[in-house]
């Protein structure tokens, strides 16, 4: 597909635009409009009131659930997942209002559209243009919300305009009932699973293979740009959709926002296992009726909000209030400091522990900091970098206030981060050519993060994560031996030892975190090859067995979330990104998906038209970078908007200062913020003859 | 532990025997039911509740149903399994196994025991295609909309899937089954409900009659009569574990329906003794006195949790500290099951006398229900009517009097002038329960009001509907207005309740009430049709908020089939099929097809253009 990824998106826009303008023949559209325009004002008000009554009624149900103790327990699997999708107060408020608007739309749909043979898509596109009734409390509430500070509470954008819901508004696939063709999320993940031994055997060693730092940065970038959060009860309590034994709850304990990930075992009468899935918080896009849009508790520019916090209030909590510094846990030198420890009251928002205050738990601007040792490490690096910069600035400008030092250090830190992401990481993911194209493409306006990027494309890195991080630190290997023009690493003590098992560390930091440990992890990340980007995830992050799950299944979760967000099926994106013609059969996937994977997909899905975006995306063979053409297309599109945001929202206050630090790249960043002695030129590739180590002493 | 369980078992079989003897004392020897030969053999040789040892209570039931994590995803599965050996041998071997495992069997041990001693659920039943099934019943001809006509044909087809016949061995060795043997094949509700159910059968039988399957309908009624003869009343459904509870008494109404369709008055006359007997069962076992009026309540006579939802009930009762309080709650639970509305805020009484709380607040026996008393009135009226056909003036007078007493009680205790409707009455707090339930309007259906007062009642009922916004729901009238996630609460909608509302309003015979009745019937038919076209299924319950949406909540997933939903639709297609059409008119669907073609064309054009541009 090469250079044409972005162009195809333009084509796509053309197609969508054309079909929107002329949906069907004009007559039926007019019929719909005439029919719905004929609804008297009083009726619109009544429909909205019915919806608000129904939202109010839900409170009784929620009280019951809480009385029956059906909520997320500290330390449970659902707690782990909650931290990945933890809403803040403003998101909850947005989502509650959005739910009222959605319910109002559904009342219109069920009362006025369906009985008159107006289908979901027709009805929704009419309602999207229809303002909430003048004089209704809902309209007032909505307008007030939009007037307020909306930082970081935007709706995800839909790449292909339309959503994919059973009823056009909100009902998720798969179907229940006999016309059930779409397989359940968990069964897809199980169907794709391969034992780790097979996966490792398939691993082919290439020159310039990506290392695990690439996956780690993908996660960090995700944390910055995207945070779909889950809905909560109106009291703020988190919603639980499974029993404590990880089996499904009785229907009477089912919250309306629940869409648990269920696995029906093959044995007759057996009890299904259950993983929590709560539907994502909704966003208020405007004060019109319309279908569901999900909320992004993050902004579309690379601003290190995951480190500094999304709001100024959150940022304030993280600052040391002197010298422009961020809070940290000091360990002698600055490049040894660790992240601050979460206070006891913050504990449950950062770590999934049964007992609050038990063990290490770091705090940062995002609940996802403790999601694994990789994230802890990279958050730490940027915290150290900030504090190093602030200290430097302070030395040079003794009279600068804390505020000025902080803002200047932050501006420089963000700029370094942006350059590493755009100039180094993006080429590793997309390939040089497409990454360069991203920088030169210009769209008329900067838009929010796309749903497809947030819940599918950027999630590619999970496929690259291994179960264990091997200890490839300098104590364990002999560096830099060059033999016959090949640069190889020699492992000192075979078999290799591992630093940790991923599944043990998710939101429960067990390692004893010291500066040295972080150095070991970083060194190993640089030196361990990432798993192949493919449809098989390692056993530590999926649950492929029929037994009671003791950890989550990331792939099943991502599939479920894609459906929750109403993403169109994979083929629609393939058509617009790469094929520029409609897909007609499985055969059309052949040039993108390896045969063995395609054969598996055929046994899992009844139809090629059902394949979920995330599943198709991870199944594709990478072409130039680390991901296949469809994910390349979605990621590149997103970064065009990100770059545009950077231009539009640029703050030139510290431009000169920032300029002074332009020489800092990924290698130098890692050198300066860790205890490593040498770091490869390209931090996203394994060290090799073409990717030599740079000594940190020279930095 | 074991001993006390055995004693309880003994008590249960005693109480069953007592019921049996009561039945016999009522049943007159000169009963003339034309298919009673098969019954006689069952009756004379075996205790109909022998298998209760296994399925109704005891250590075996407790151990298996309380396994953690549960052995079955639906608690009803186990009690519907068949026995491979006699109940006594099964119990003996189970006790030995428990002994061997030190009373601490593992989940695996229990699984193995079940595998060895129990057969799959429902294997005692064979599917059965009704011999009187008609390919083209005439109700289909009365439907004008072609889509609805097609649907009518398919609904008629479903009868063939819901037919069940007991295997011969059930009659020979009933002790090896939880099913209660009956002589004739039946139409079951469907889904997890693989046996006959009492009140469901009223709407099923009406559907069968509209489908011209008179002998299947008659066979089902005869089954119920034979059960009254053997057991003294009709249990909730066709399983021994329902032995302590009945369901809303609609047997007499079934006989009335049959007679209306066939003009076979003799059938009703022959049934009279047993109909009287069932009437007396409620009068003798379910009556309470309120302000000097005798009225009936729903209740139960057995001990322990519901066997088919055992662990659920034990958990519900966990908050009570004494066995006595737990037992009291179990009675309230089973009484709610007797009402057919298991479960609903309708049966909750909180500390402060409202419908707040959860299942542990169930107080069914403290609530005088409108529907049961309306049915009692109706039964008395119908029995009087049948006696007048038989020319027994004395009995006519006796039952007219009984009907009059119920009518008076309904007026004095249940009618609430302030609300402008009938309301359930809370005996504990001595007050009306002003919460909407469709059954509040059930007197309209059975005409348990002064017909001369129709205008006045109609005005009040229409105001009541307006006030409770009952006409604002796209998927039918919800069962209550409290979102509790119980299956007989908001937003669930049930076919029999829509039936009671629609037929009741129609009976009022005022233009407003008749309009509303027709509007609701049409809405119900169209919404069910939508659900059917989406999923090819009929559901046991639907969703008031979703046009074409099915219900949820309660303790099991929504079931499909479904007997009473099919029955109600067939009746209304038959009655109103000339006037109902799908959609806004035939033009809309044609233009919808056009728009699909249009979009495809535009896409193709755009794609071609795109290629050329490249």
User: Within an 8 Å CB–CB cutoff, is residue A501 touching chain B?
Assistant: no
CA distance A179 to B429: 49
- List, for residues A279-306, the tens digit of each pLDDT value: 999 999 899 999 999 999 999 999 999 9
Query: Which residue of chain A has the CA closest to B107?
Result: A270
DSSP string, B466-499: HHTTGGG-TT---S-S-B-SSTTSBTEE-HHHHH
* Long-range CB contacts for residues B312-320, cutoff 8 Å, separation at least 24: B312/A250, B312/B75, B312/B555, B314/B66, B316/B359, B316/B360, B317/B360, B319/B360, B320/B360
Query: Which residue of chain A has the CA closest to B555?
Result: A250
In a domain, A61, yes or no: yes
Distance from CA of A625 to the nearest CA of B (A): 24
Residue A168 has pLDDT above 90, yes or no: yes
CB < 8 Å to A119, chain B: 592
In a domain, A88, yes or no: yes
Residue B598 has pLDDT above 50, yes or no: no
Interface contacts (A, B; CB < 8 Å): 175
Distance from CA of B16 to the nearest CA of A (A): 31
pLDDT, average across residues B73-84: 95
Best residue in A1, A8, A26, A28 for a mutation probing chain B (most B CBs within 10 Å): A28
Band (pLDDT 50/70/90 cuts) for residue B25 is: very low
Band (pLDDT 50/70/90 cuts) for residue A207 is: low
Give the range of the structural domain holding residue A278, as residue numbers without chain letter.
19-155+231-287
CA distances from B329 to A348, A395, A564, B313, B333 (A): 38, 75, 40, 9, 6
Task: Give bridge partners of residue A274 from the DSSP assignment.
Answer: A262
pLDDT, average across residues A612-639: 95
DSSP string, B521-554: HHHHHHHHHHHHHHHS--BSSEETTSTT-B---S
At residue A489, the pLDDT reads 52
In a domain, A528, yes or no: no
User: For residue A568, what is the DSSP state?
Assistant: P
User: Within an 8 Å CB–CB cutoff, is residue A140 touching chain B?
Assistant: no
CB < 8 Å to A272, chain B: 73
Mean pLDDT of chain B: 89
Distance from CA of A452 to the nearest CA of B (A): 22
B592–A22 C-beta distance less than 8 A: no
Mean pLDDT of chain A: 89
At residue B326, the pLDDT reads 98
Is A148 or A176 the better-scoring residue by pLDDT? A148
Residue B56 has pLDDT above 90, yes or no: yes
- How many domains are contained in chain A? 1
- List, for residues B486-504, the tens digit of each pLDDT value: 999 999 999 999 999 999 9
Best residue in A32, A51, A251 for a mutation probing chain B (most B CBs within 10 Å): A251
3-state secondary structure at position A230 = strand
B535–A175 C-beta distance less than 8 A: yes
User: Within an 8 Å CB–CB cutoff, is residue A244 touching chain B?
Assistant: no
Domain ranges of chain B: 1-234+241-278, 286-414, 450-578, 584-614
pLDDT, average across residues B534-542: 94
Query: Which residue of chain B has the CA closest to A31?
Result: B588
Query: Which residue of chain A has the CA closest to B526?
Result: A115
Best residue in A67, A114, A247, A576 for a mutation probing chain B (most B CBs within 10 Å): A114
User: Within an 8 Å CB–CB cutoff, is residue A581 touching chain B?
Assistant: yes
- List, for residues A374-422, the tens digit of each pLDDT value: 999 999 999 999 999 999 999 999 999 999 999 999 999 999 999 999 9
In a domain, A624, yes or no: no
Give me the phi and psi of A151, to 5 degrees please: -60, 125
Distance from CA of A608 to the nearest CA of B (A): 19
Nearest to A250 among B358, B526, B555 (CB): B555
CA distance B96 to B85: 15
Band (pLDDT 50/70/90 cuts) for residue B163 is: very high
At residue A335, the pLDDT reads 77
Residue A563 has pLDDT above 50, yes or no: yes
At residue B457, the pLDDT reads 98
In a domain, A309, yes or no: no
CA distances from A360 to A93, A126, A471, A474, A550 (A): 32, 53, 22, 26, 21
Residues 270-309 of A with CB under 8 A from B: 270-272
Band (pLDDT 50/70/90 cuts) for residue A498 is: confident
CB < 8 Å to A253, chain B: 485
CA angle A370, A503, A491 (to 5 degrees): 100
Distance from CA of B318 to the nearest CA of A (A): 11
Query: Which residue of chain B has the CA closest to A10?
Result: B610
Among residues A694, A695, A689, A674, the alpha carbon closest in space to that of A334 is found at A674
In a domain, A681, yes or no: no
At residue A14, the pLDDT reads 40
A106–B485 C-beta distance less than 8 A: no
Is B459 or A478 the better-scoring residue by pLDDT? B459
Query: Which residue of chain B has the CA closest to A581?
Result: B607
- List, for residues B370-419, the tens digit of each pLDDT value: 999 999 999 999 999 999 999 999 999 999 999 999 999 999 999 999 99
At residue A15, the pLDDT reads 44
Residue B171 has pLDDT above 90, yes or no: yes
B548–A25 C-beta distance less than 8 A: no
A580–B614 C-beta distance less than 8 A: yes
B483–A57 C-beta distance less than 8 A: yes
CA distances from A265 to A122, A248, A548, B219 (A): 39, 12, 11, 40
Band (pLDDT 50/70/90 cuts) for residue B16 is: very low
CB < 8 Å to B554, chain A: 250-252
3-state secondary structure at position B301 = coil
Distance from CA of B413 to the nearest CA of A (A): 30
A269–B73 C-beta distance less than 8 A: yes
Among residues A487, A263, A163, A223, the alpha carbon closest in space to that of A366 is found at A223
At residue B46, the pLDDT reads 54
In a domain, A33, yes or no: yes
3-state secondary structure at position A262 = strand
Length of chain B: 614
Best residue in A18, A110, A162 for a mutation probing chain B (most B CBs within 10 Å): A110
CB within 8 Å of B538: residues ≥ 6 apart: B155, B158, B190, B528, B531, B532, B560, B561, B562, B565, B566, B569
A24–B599 C-beta distance less than 8 A: yes
Residue B2 has pLDDT above 60, yes or no: no
Query: Which residue of chain A has the CA closest to B554?
Result: A252
- List, for residues A421-476, the tens digit of each pLDDT value: 999 999 999 999 999 999 999 888 888 999 999 999 999 999 999 988 888 876 55
CA distance A229 to A280: 5
Share above pLDDT 70 across residues of chain B, in percent, rounded to a whole number: 87
CA angle A8, A14, A20 (to 5 degrees): 135
CA distance A365 to A373: 16
Q: At what angle do helices B214-231 and B37-45 cross, to 10 degrees?
A: 30
Nearest to B588 among A25, A31, A254 (CB): A31
Task: Give bridge partners of residue A482 from the DSSP assignment.
Answer: A487
pLDDT, average across residues B82-111: 96
In a domain, A75, yes or no: yes
Spacing of C-alpha B327 from chain mean position? 24
- List, for residues A502-533, the tens digit of each pLDDT value: 888 999 998 889 999 999 999 999 999 898 88
**Residue B338 CB burial class (10 angstroms; 0-12, 13-18, ≥19):** buried
CB within 8 Å of A383: residues ≥ 6 apart: A307, A326, A328, A337, A339, A364
B487–A250 C-beta distance less than 8 A: no
Q: Do residues A23 and B599 make contact, with C-beta atoms less than 8 angstroms apart?
A: yes
Q: Do residues B269 and B219 make contact, with C-beta atoms less than 8 angstroms apart?
A: no
Residue A132 has pLDDT above 60, yes or no: yes
Tell me the catalytic residues of B: 342, 540
Measure the CA dihedral A398/A399/A405/A409, to 10°: -40
CB within 8 Å of A419: residues ≥ 6 apart: A662, A664, A665
A19–B602 C-beta distance less than 8 A: yes
3-state secondary structure at position A490 = strand
């Amino acid at each position: 597909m090469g250079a044409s990824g972005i162009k195809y998106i333009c084509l796509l826009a053309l197609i969508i635009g054309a079909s929107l303008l002329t949906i069907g023949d004009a007559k039926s559209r007019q019929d719909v409009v005439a029919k719905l325009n004929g609804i008297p004002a009083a009726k619109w008000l009544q429909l909205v009131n019915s919806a608000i009554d129904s939202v109010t009624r839900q409170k009784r149900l929620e009280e019951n659930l809480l009385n029956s103790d059906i909520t997320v327990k500290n330390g449970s699997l659902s707690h782990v997942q909650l931290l990945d999708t933890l809403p803040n107060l403003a998101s909850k408020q947005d989502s509650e209002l959005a739910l009222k608007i959605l319910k109002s739309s559904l009342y219109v749909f069920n009362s006025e559209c369906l009985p008159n043979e107006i289908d979901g898509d027709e009805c929704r596109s009419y309602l999207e243009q229809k303002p909430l009734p003048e004089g209704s409390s809902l309209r007032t509430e909505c307008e007030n919300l939009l007037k307020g500070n909306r930082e970081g509470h935007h709706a995800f954008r839909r790449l292909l305009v339309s959503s994919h819901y059973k009823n056009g508004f909100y009902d998720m696939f798969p179907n229940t009932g006999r016309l059930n063709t779409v397989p359940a999320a968990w069964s897809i993940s199980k169907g794709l699973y391969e034992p780790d031994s097979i996966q490792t055997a398939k691993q082919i060693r290439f020159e310039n293979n990506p290392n695990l730092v690439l996956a780690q940065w993908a996660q960090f970038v995700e944390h910055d740009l995207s945070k779909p959060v889950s809905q909560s009860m109106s009291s703020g309590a988190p919603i639980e959709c499974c029993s404590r034994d990880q089996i499904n709850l009785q229907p009477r304990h089912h919250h309306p926002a629940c869409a648990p990930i269920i696995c029906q075992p093959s044995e007759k009468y057996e009890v299904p296992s259950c993983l929590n899935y709560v539907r994502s918080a909704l966003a208020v896009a405007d004060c019109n009726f319309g279908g569901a849009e999900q909320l992004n508790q993050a902004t579309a520019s690379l601003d290190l909000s995951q480190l500094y916090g999304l709001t100024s209030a959150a940022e304030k909590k993280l600052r040391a209030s002197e010298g422009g510094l961020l809070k940290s846990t000091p360990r002698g030198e600055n490049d040894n400091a660790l992240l601050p420890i979460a206070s006891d009251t913050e504990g449950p928002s950062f770590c999934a522990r049964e007992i609050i205050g038990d063990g290490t738990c770091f705090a940062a601007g995002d609940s996802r900091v403790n999601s694994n040792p990789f994230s802890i490490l990279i958050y730490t690096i940027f915290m150290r970098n900030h504090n190093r910069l602030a200290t430097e600035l302070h030395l040079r400008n003794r009279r600068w206030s804390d505020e000025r030092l902080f803002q200047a250090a932050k501006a420089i830190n963000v700029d370094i981060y942006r350059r590493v992401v755009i100039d180094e990481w993006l080429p590793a993911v997309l390939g040089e050519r497409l990454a360069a194209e991203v920088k030169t493409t210009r769209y008329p306006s900067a838009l929010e993060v796309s749903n497809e990027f947030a819940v599918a494309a950027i999630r590619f890195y999970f496929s690259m994560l291994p179960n264990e991080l091997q200890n490839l630190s300098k104590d364990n290997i002999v560096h830099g031996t060059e033999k016959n023009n090949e640069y190889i690493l020699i492992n000192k003590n075979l078999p290799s030892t591992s630093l940790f098992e991923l599944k043990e560390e998710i939101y429960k930091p067990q390692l004893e975190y010291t500066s040295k440990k972080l150095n070991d992890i970083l060194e190993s990340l640089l030196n361990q090859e990432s798993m192949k980007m493919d449809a098989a995830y390692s056993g530590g992050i999926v649950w492929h067995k029929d037994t009671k799950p003791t950890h989550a299944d990331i792939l099943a979760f991502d599939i479920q979330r894609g459906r929750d967000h109403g993403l169109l099926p994979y083929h629609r994106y393939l058509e617009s990104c790469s094929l520029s013609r409609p897909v007609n059969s499985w055969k059309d996937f052949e040039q993108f998906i390896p045969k063995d994977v395609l054969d598996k997909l055929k046994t899992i899905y009844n139809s090629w038209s059902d394949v979920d975006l995330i599943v198709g995306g991870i199944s594709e063979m990478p072409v130039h970078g680390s991901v296949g053409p469809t994910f390349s297309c979605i990621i590149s599109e997103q970064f065009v908007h990100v770059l545009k945001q950077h231009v539009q929202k640029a703050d030139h206050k510290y431009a000169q200062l920032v300029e002074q630090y332009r020489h800092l790249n990924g290698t130098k960043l890692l050198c300066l913020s860790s205890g490593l002695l040498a770091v490869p030129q390209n931090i996203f590739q394994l060290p090799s003859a073409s990717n030599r180590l740079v000594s940190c002493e020279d930095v | 532990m074991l001993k006390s369980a055995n004693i309880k078992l003994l008590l249960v079989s005693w109480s069953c025997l007592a019921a049996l003897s009561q039945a016999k004392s009522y049943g007159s020897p000169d009963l003339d039911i034309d298919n009673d030969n098969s019954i006689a053999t069952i009756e004379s040789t075996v205790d109909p509740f022998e298998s209760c040892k296994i399925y109704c209570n005891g250590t075996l039931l407790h151990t298996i149903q309380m396994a953690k994590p549960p052995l079955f995803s639906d608690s009803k599965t186990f009690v519907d399994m068949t026995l491979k050996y006699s109940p006594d041998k099964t119990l003996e071997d189970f006790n030995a196994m428990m002994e061997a495992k030190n009373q601490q069997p593992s989940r695996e041990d229990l699984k193995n025991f079940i595998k060895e001693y129990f057969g799959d659920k429902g294997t005692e039943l064979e599917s059965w295609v009704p011999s009187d099934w008609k390919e083209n019943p005439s109700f289909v001809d009365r439907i004008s909309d072609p889509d609805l006509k097609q649907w009518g044909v398919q609904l008629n087809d479903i009868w063939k899937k819901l037919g069940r016949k007991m295997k011969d061995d059930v009659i020979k060795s009933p002790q090896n089954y939880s099913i209660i043997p009956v002589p004739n094949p039946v139409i079951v509700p469907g889904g997890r409900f693989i046996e006959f159910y009492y009140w469901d059968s009223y709407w099923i039988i009406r559907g069968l009659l509209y489908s011209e399957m008179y002998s299947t309908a008659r066979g089902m009624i005869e089954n119920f009569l034979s059960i009254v003869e053997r057991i003294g009343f009709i249990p909730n459904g066709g399983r021994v574990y329902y032995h302590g509870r009945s369901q809303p008494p609609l047997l007499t109404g079934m006989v009335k329906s049959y007679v209306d369709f066939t003009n076979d008055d003799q059938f009703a006359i022959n049934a009279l003794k047993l109909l009287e007997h069932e009437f007396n069962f409620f009068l003798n076992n379910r009556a309470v006195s309120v302000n000097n009026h005798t009225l009936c309540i729903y209740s139960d006579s057995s001990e322990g949790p519901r066997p088919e939802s055992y662990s659920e009930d034990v958990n519900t009762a966990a908050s009570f500290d004494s066995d006595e309080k737990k037992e009291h709650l179990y009675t309230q639970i089973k009484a709610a099951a007797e009402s057919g509305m298991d479960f609903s805020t309708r049966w909750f009484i909180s500390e402060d006398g409202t419908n707040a709380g959860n299942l542990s607040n169930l107080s069914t026996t403290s609530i005088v229900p409108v529907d049961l008393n309306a049915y009692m009135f109706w039964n008395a009226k119908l029995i009087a009517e049948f006696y007048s056909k038989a020319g027994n003036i004395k009995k006519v007078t006796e039952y007219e009097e009984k009907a009059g007493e119920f009518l008076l009680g309904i007026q004095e205790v249940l009618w609430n002038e302030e609300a402008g409707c009938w309301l359930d009455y809370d005996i504990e707090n001595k007050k009306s329960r002003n919460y909407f339930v469709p059954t509040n309007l059930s007197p309209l259906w059975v005409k348990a009001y002064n017909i001369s007062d129709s205008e006045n009642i109609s005005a009040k009922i229409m105001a009541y509907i307006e006030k409770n916004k009952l006409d604002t729901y796209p998927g039918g009238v919800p069962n209550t207005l409290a979102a509790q996630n119980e299956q007989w609460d908001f937003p669930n909608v049930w076919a029999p309740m829509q039936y009671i509302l629609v037929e009741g309003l129609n009976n009022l015979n005022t233009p407003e009430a008749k309009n509303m009745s027709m509007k609701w019937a049409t809405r119900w038919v169209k919404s069910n049709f939508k659900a059917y076209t989406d999923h090819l299924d009929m559901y046991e319950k639907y969703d008031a908020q979703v046009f074409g949406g099915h219900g949820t909540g309660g303790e099991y997933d929504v079931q499909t089939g479904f007997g009473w939903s099919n029955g109600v639709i067939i009746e209304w297609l038959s009655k109103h099929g000339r006037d109902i059409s799908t959609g806004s008119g035939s033009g809309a669907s044609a233009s919808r097809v056009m728009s699909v073609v249009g979009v495809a064309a535009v896409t193709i054009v755009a794609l071609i253009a795109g290629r050329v541009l490249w």
